[in-house]
Amino acid sequence: MRPTAVKFCLGAGVLTVAIAMIALAQNAPLPDSGRRDAKVAQVVALDECDPTTFNAALGPDFCKNIALGASTTLANLLAEAAAGTPDPNWDFEPDTLKVKEGTVVSVTDQGGEPHTFTEVAAFGGGFIAGLNGGQATIPECAGGFSSIAVARTRLLQGSTVQVVGLSKGIHHFECCIHPWMRMDVVVK
């Protein structure tokens, strides 16, 4: 065979395997859910960051706010958090989620900036002191993104994280960046 024909056959074979893997993945159960019929409960992370002020301070494209006409400047966010009255537009919705055991909790960042969805023993401060409203950083948020445990819970704009395997009881989740973003998942 000629080298061009060999390259074509190898390329076609790789493409065939890739297409087969995609087809199999579409029919696979959700990660660690153990069942194809697992229920999914949706949570959204929201914020209204002002792209002009956030991007000027934190870098281009840090804030990708898609809210129509509503935004909070970085200075206002920092001042409100320091005063202990953080912006309520930074939020997880719903505030409390009641699910049956085995339900997959799917969390999507529909806000303009990154967040985390971190399970914590008790609510408290995150890893950015200026946003903690005087609260101490809780152990689960310590180290910020240099901690693998925190980095695994990171949500970038438009991304989704799935939480699986929650046992019966009440599970507390908060954003380790914006610690007033809190919610409970009650598993029955």
Question: Residues of the chain with pLDDT > 90: what percent?
Answer: 74
Q: Which among 123, 113, 121, 98 has a CA at the least distance from the CA of 43?
A: 98
* pLDDT at position 168: 98
5-34 pLDDT, tens digit each: 434 433 333 333 333 333 333 333 444 444
Q: Which among 45, 36, 58, 38 has a CA at the least distance from the CA of 153?
A: 45
106-138 pLDDT, tens digit each: 999 999 999 999 999 999 999 999 999 999 999
The pTM is what?
0.78
Residues shown for the chain: 188
